């Protein structure tokens, strides 16, 4: 069956960790490296190379809106030429293109997985990732025009429109077909069970050996040790680690009462919907 499983999340919510889990699972629970094919599992669709190769379009000559309008055609073409199910990382908010077409066409969507994380933890992680203070990260999470500037972090990647944290979550939770919701906190507490849920949703085999191997291969301490010896550039600030702490609830030791109040003011309704308040 051709089409895509979208692995979607707001930045710094656990997308990379889940993709490494899935990559190891598909390889029978094999160890992962941060500079090999498993680390490249579920690549983004919106790259300059894909636009050039499959649509014969030079992204440097297109506006952001023009590229967004072309994105569904790119998805369709990649689905056409690759008959097997594909997996793709997504940080874009779900929505319509400027011309009114779904950015992620239902016809070529086999399913989606949305990873959500407490926005108070996201703010802390986002600040460290970009080398900015937490107040700046909180402001970005409340900015309707926020975008992930992929071309700065990853040459050849196209900008991703993410909007506010609340908008991003709502856009995917209310999308069609509805996604499988995976909470970062649940993934930390019981990665084996959550991985099994994702595998079932995506039609992947998940035997006990592969599940156990994938969990062991992607323990946070293991990934931190791998990063000690591997350049793993995911757009983080110079000198910063990508796999920093990965804890759930660390915001309690990192945020001031004023910062907590700001996040809860900006995103209280969505936090309540998800049970974070």
- Average pLDDT (136-144) is 94
pLDDT digits (tens, 9 = 90+) for 182-238: 999 999 999 999 999 999 999 999 999 999 999 999 988 877 777 766 665 555 545
- For residue 120, the domain's CATH number is 3.40.50.300
Comparison of pLDDT for 219 and 259, the residue scoring more: 259
pLDDT digits (tens, 9 = 90+) for 28-78: 999 987 776 766 889 999 988 999 999 999 988 988 899 999 999 999 999
Q: Please give the mean pLDDT across all residues of the chain.
A: 88
Distance CA 120, CA 66 (A): 34
Q: Where does the pLDDT of residue 83 fall: very low under 50, low under 70, confident under 90, or very high at 90 and above? A: confident
Q: Where does the pLDDT of residue 248 fall: very low under 50, low under 70, confident under 90, or very high at 90 and above? A: confident
Comparison of pLDDT for 151 and 91, the residue scoring more: 91
pLDDT of residue 85: 95
- Average pLDDT (11-38) is 88
| Full residue range of the structural domain in which residue 267 is found | 3-274
Q: Quote the number of domains for the chain.
A: 1
pLDDT at 270 over 80: yes
pLDDT at 154 over 70: no
């Amino acid at each position: 069956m051709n089409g895509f499983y979208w692995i979607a999340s707001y930045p710094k919510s656990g997308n990379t960790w889940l993709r490494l889990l899935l990559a190891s699972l598909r390889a029978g629970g094999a160890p992962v490296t941060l500079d090999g094919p498993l680390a490249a599992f579920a690549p983004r669709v919106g790259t300059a190379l894909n636009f050039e190769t499959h649509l014969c379009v030079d992204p440097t000559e297109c506006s952001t809106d023009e590229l967004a309008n072309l994105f569904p055609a790119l998805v369709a073409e990649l689905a056409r030429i690759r008959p097997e199910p594909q997996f793709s990382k997504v940080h874009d908010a779900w929505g319509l293109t400027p011309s009114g077409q779904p950015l992620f066409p239902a016809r070529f969507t086999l399913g989606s997985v949305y990873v959500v994380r407490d926005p108070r933890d996201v703010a802390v992680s986002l600040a460290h990732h970009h080398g900015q203070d937490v107040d700046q990260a909180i402001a970005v999470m409340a900015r309707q025009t926020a975008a992930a500037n992929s071309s700065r972090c990853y040459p050849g990647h196209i900008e991703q429109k993410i909007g506010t944290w609340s908008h991003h979550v709502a856009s995917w939770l209310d999308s069609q077909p509805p996604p499988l919701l995976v909470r970062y906190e649940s993934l930390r507490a019981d990665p084996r069970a959550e991985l099994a849920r994702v595998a079932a949703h995506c039609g992947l085999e998940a035997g006990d050996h592969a599940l156990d191997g994938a969990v062991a291969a992607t323990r946070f301490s293991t990934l931190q040790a791998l990063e000690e010896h591997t350049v793993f550039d995911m757009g983080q600030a110079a000198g910063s680690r990508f796999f920093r702490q990965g804890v759930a609830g660390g915001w309690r030791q990192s945020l001031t009462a004023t910062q907590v109040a700001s996040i809860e003011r900006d995103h209280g309704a969505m936090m309540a919907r998800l049970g974070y308040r």
